Amino acid sequence: MLPLPTLAQNLGIAPEHLIQYGRDKAKVALEALEAARARRPRPGKLILVSAITPTPAGEGKTVTSIGLAQGLRKLDRSVALALRQPSMGPVFGRKGGATGGGLSTVQPATDINLHFTGDFHAVTAAHNLLASVIDNALHRGQTRLAPGGVLWKRVLDANDRALRSVRVAVGDPGERLSGFDITAASEIMAILCLAASRDDLRARLDRLVVGFTADGEPVPACEFRVTGALMALLRDALLPNLVQSAEGVPAFVHGGPFANIAHGCNSILATRMALAHADYVVTEAGFAFDLGGEKFIDIKCRQSGLAPDAIVIVATIRALKMHGGMPRDALAAPDLPAIRCGLENLRAHVGAAASFNRPVVVAINHFPTDTDAELALVRDFCAAELRVPCALSQVFARGGEGGTELAGAVLSLFDGADAAAAISYPKLEYVYPDDIPVTEKINTIARRIYGASGVDILPGAAARLVLFERAGFGRLPICMAKTQDSLTDDPKKPGRPQGFRITVRDFELAAGAGFIVALTGKMLRMPALPKVPAAEKIDLAPDGAITGIMGT
C-alpha cells in the first residue's frame, strides 16, 4: 500500500484537491473532476460487477470487484474501484464488515466499516434536522401537513428493533406513531448517491416529498426552508472518499444506499471521479443482477448518462447447488446434477445482463470445496449454452494474482482495443421508457428481467399510485424492492421459476432521489440485533487497533 498523497499523485489528483482524514483516508474535492476531465477527456471503461441469486452468505461481489481490480493492476492496467461504504449498524449486529475479504480488501477496513469520514453521520444529521423542523411546524400549526400525513421518519445508523415503531411527540399536537429507519434507508442517502453536483443535490433536497396533505397534495421539503442547512450538513459528505485496496489499487468508497427500497449503488460522483482518473473502473451494484443490475441501469445510468462497458456476473458453485435444490447446510458436498439444474439461475441473470448489448463475463468465485469437475461443468455451460467467457476468481485466497484470469477475460471483451479508445457500443437501452404508465414499467421489468408472467398490484398500492401519478410523478423510474433470494418475490423459490406472478403490495415516493419504490413484500428498514450481537466480539486493543469486526 502507498502513502495516500502518493496514491493521489499517481492518479493525477492535485495536492490541493486531496483532503486527508487521518493518514489513510481522504476526500477528493469536486474540482478534481473537472481538472481530470480537462487532462484526459475520455473517461475510463466501466465494469459492473453483479451476481446470480446469492446464498445467504452472498456471492462475493465486493471481494470479486476488489480482486478483479487488483488483477487488472497485475496486468499493468490503470484501474480504480468505485464501491459503496458499508453501513455501521449491521457491523454490531449480524453481518460483519463489508470491505471484501482475504487478500482482496479495501483498507483501512475497520474505519470504513465504522465512522469512516463521517458521511453516514452527516446523512443522519441532515435527515433528522428535517424531521425536527417538520415536527416543530406541526407543534406550532405552521404547516399544511397533518400529523397523519407525515411520511418522513427519522434515521440512525444502528440495528435497533425498539426504534422500528415509536410514538413521537407524546402529549403534543404532533403525537403520532412513527419510527426510525437505518441511515442507509434514508432518502437523503439515495439523493447523495444520485446527485451529479452541488446544485443537483440542492434541487433534489428541495423537491423531496415529506408527506401529503389531506387533499393528496405532495408537500416538498423546500416548504420547511432548511435546504441550505441540509446542504451545510452535507458539504463534506458529497465529496468522494479515497482509500486503497490491500494491494494499493485506488478505491473511491462513497455512499451506501439500501439495495431494496433504494438503488444500492455507490455515488455517481465517486463513479465519475474514478472514471476520470483511471482507464478501467470496477464497480458493483447491490444484490443479484435482477435487482441491483436492473436498478444500476434503469436508475443510476438513466439519471446520470453513465453506461457499463462490460458486466461481470459472479457465481459460486455453492449457490448453483442451492438453486439446483440442495439444502443450504449441504452445499460443500459435490453434486454435479444439482449444479446442472442450478445453472438455469445463471442463465437468467446472464441473459438479462446481455440484453443491454454489453459484453458479459461469468466469474466463478472459488471456494476450497469446489471440485475440478464442478468448475468444468460451469465453464462448459458458459461456453456452449450462454456463449460468454467464464473465468475462475481466486481473489480471496490469492489477491490480485488470483484475479488475473478474470481480469484477462474482461480485457478480452474489449477486443484488444486500446484502453483509451472508444468502444462503439450501441446506446444503452433502458428496460422501459420514461413515458409509459408505472404499472407497465413494472410489468416490463418483471417479464423481461425476472421471467415472470405478469404483475398483480394490490388495491391499496394501486390507490397510492394514483396519488403519485396525479401529483405528476408518473414519469419517474421504478425502484423494485424485492427479495434478493429469488428471481420471484418469494424468497423460498431458488433456481429459475417459471410462470410466476409478482405482487406489488405498496408504493413509495422518493421524489428527491427520483424514483417510485414498488414494494413486493415487507422490507425491513431497521435491522435488529441477534441473540448474540457481533458487538460482543469487537474491542479496542491497547495499541489502538480495533479487533473483532468480522471480515477485517
Residues 6+ apart with CB under 8 A from 415: none
CA torsion through residues 530, 536, 537, 543, sign: positive
CB atoms within 10 A of CB 485: 18
3-state secondary structure of 184: helix
In the complex with a second copy, which residue's Cβ is closer, 121 or 340?
A: 121
* Residues sharing a CB contact under 8 Å with residue 425, sequence separation 6 or more, in sequence order: 307, 309, 357, 358
Taking the least distance from each CB to a second copy, the nearer of 154 and 300 is 154
Q: Which letter does DSSP use for residue 72 in this model?
A: H
Least distance between a second copy and beta carbon 91 (Å): 9
Distance CA 39, CA 282 (A): 21
Shortest Cβ distance from residue 163 to a second copy (Å)?
Answer: 6
* Enclosing H/E stretch for 168: strand 166-168
Q: Which is nearer to a second copy, 205 or 352 (CB)?
A: 205
Using CA atoms, how far residue 438 sits from 194, 304, 461, 517, in Å, is: 21, 21, 12, 10
Can you tell me the distance from the alpha carbon of 286 to that of 283, in angstroms, rounded to the nearest whole number? 10
Angle formed at CA 110 by CA 108 and CA 111, multiple of 5 degrees: 70
The nearer residue to a second copy, 231 or 336, going by C-beta atoms, is 231
61 assigned ligand-binding residue:
yes
Q: What is the closest distance, in whole angstroms, from the C-beta atom of residue 33 to a second copy in the complex?
A: 14
**E-assigned strands of 354-467?**
360-365, 390-393, 454-457
> Does the annotation flag 404 for ligand binding?
no
Closer to a second copy by Cβ: residue 168 or 188: 168
On whether 469 is known to bind a ligand per the annotation, the reply is: no
Q: Is 421 annotated for ligand binding?
A: no
Q: Nearer Cβ to a second copy, position 172 or 429?
A: 172
Is 334 annotated in a binding site? The answer is no
Q: Cβ of residue 108: shortest distance to a second copy, in angstroms? A: 12
Output the smallest distance, CB 21 to a second copy, in A: 5
CA distance 412 to 75: 12
Residue 408 annotated as lining a ligand binding site: no
Residue 227: CB minimum distance to a second copy, A: 8
Binding residues for ATP: 55-62
